[in-house]
Amino acid sequence: MNASRSPVRQSSVRAHNLALVLQTVANSADRPSRAAISAATGLTRATVSALVDDLIAGSLLTELDPAPRTGAGRPAAGLALTPDGPGGLGLEINVDYLGACVADLTGEVRHRFVTRADQRLLPPAAALAALRELAAQASAAAAADGIELAGAALAVPGLVAPGGLVRVAPNLGWQDVDVPALLGLDLPLTVDNEANLAALGELGAGDGTPTFLYVSGEIGIGAGIVLDGELYRGGRGWSGEIGHVTVYPDGRPCRCGADGCLEQYAGQEAVAADPELAASALGIALSAVVNLLDLGVIVLGGGYAPEFDRLRDGIDAELRRRVLTAGLAPVALRPATLGADAAMRGAAGVVIGAVRDDPASWLARPQAV
């Protein structure tokens, strides 16, 4: 029992059950009927009917032709998420890349706008103005499709504090940038670390594994920790800084001030220069992660994905040697399935995920006339 510190009233029951029904549809491979939902959730058919009516009226679900079925009986009405309901705006700002995309409730990316340009040459305000331009294009495209944007999320390669303040983004040269104010969108905006959002993108696109470590190897190295389908953000929101885990205590000096950080052995140039060293260093750092967090699946993304075959064996050797539980349960290594868009797609996914997790709030939103 999760005794969170808020009272529960009947309306919370309805809110919970609305979410339960919506998620059941979302996680279902086929198009479930009301009866199937009833069986899957344990709610009665009467209740499911009432909830589904609300979700259809709020254009979160639609009735479709039923999934083919054999045998007698009245045919079911198939239910599915609407592509015409709310959508999410995913944004990304990176060293040489600016992007915006729109995903609909089903998770499909409907529009995608990307600009390649070196953001390090621009002051934050200018970079964010350019991003606002992309966001406006994406919003217009969404509106043309009849998609109402429920919010936006932005991926940045840096440390983000509550309220969307970017404390440090070393590779952009940013420090203490108030992103929501400078971006000035008229949508609720979430700002999060690039690796975190990429991990969530991978969660949505992957094979359903709910618990894994996503490692993103760009110029810096970041990681997103996904536990049971949810992102672990750490005590203060700055988890996953695997790039600065010490691999060789007296090794190469790092620009962070310490010596022997993983980033110096498995960053983009290091991988190109010496893949074997990179793999071994990565393996040592990943062993520490697994010993501490006991994650059974590690997904290599960003710049690591194309190098996967070159890195795999070296990493694996260290894992087998250094992970205490390696004999009891193996650790699986996988390349990421999404490419450069992972973080942007994850960002859009966060927005629609929020609607799917709490449809009641969305249905009760103050409606624009």
Partner DNA sequence: GCCAAATAATTCAACCAATAAACAAATCCG
Partner DNA sequence: CGGATTTGTTTATTGGTTGAATTATTTGGC
- Candidate list 177, 203, 284, 351; residue touching a second copy; CB under 8 A: 284
- Give residue 94's identity as a one-letter amino acid code: N
Contact partner at residue 119 from DNA, a second copy, none, CB < 5 to 8 Å by partner kind: none
What does the alpha-carbon distance between residue 267 and residue 27 come to, in Å, rounded to a whole number?
36
Residue for token digits 């070159």?
Answer: 310
What does the alpha-carbon distance between residue 363 and residue 345 come to, in Å, rounded to a whole number?
24
Phi, psi of 27 (to 5 degrees): -90, 0
Contacts of 279 (CB under 8 A, 6+ apart): 266, 310, 311, 312, 313, 314, 315, 318
Contacts of 134 (CB under 8 A, 6+ apart): 91, 98, 99, 100, 113, 114, 115
- Candidate list 64, 227, 272, 364; residue touching a second copy; CB under 8 A: 227
In the region spanning residues 35 to 74, those forming contacts with DNA, defined by CB under 7 A, are 35-36, 42-47, 49-53, 66, 69-74
Which CB, 65 or 276, lies closer to DNA? Answer: 65
DSSP alpha helix (H) spans, the chain: 10-26, 34-41, 45-57, 124-144, 179-183, 194-205, 263-266, 268-273, 275-293, 308-322, 342-357, 359-363
Is residue 181 a contact residue for a second copy (CB under 8 A)? no
Is residue 126 a contact residue for a second copy (CB under 8 A)? no
Is residue 317 a contact residue for a second copy (CB under 8 A)? no
CB of 363 to DNA, least distance (A): 11
Which CB, 147 or 247, lies closer to a second copy? Answer: 247
In the region spanning residues 14 to 33, those forming contacts with a second copy, defined by CB under 8 A, are 15-17, 19-20, 23
Which CB, 76 or 159, lies closer to a second copy? Answer: 159
What does the alpha-carbon distance between residue 352 and residue 196 come to, in Å, rounded to a whole number?
16
Which CB, 61 or 153, lies closer to DNA? Answer: 61
CB of 148 to DNA, least distance (A): 23
Residue 119 has which token pair? 């953001």
In the region spanning residues 71 to 110, those forming contacts with DNA, defined by CB under 7 A, are 71-77
Is residue 363 a contact residue for DNA (CB under 7 A)? no
In the region spanning residues 331 to 360, those forming contacts with a second copy, defined by CB under 8 A, are 357-358, 360
Residue 10 has which token pair? 């009947």
Binding footprint of DNA on the chain (CB under 7 A): 7-11, 13-14, 17, 33-36, 42-47, 49-53, 66, 69-77
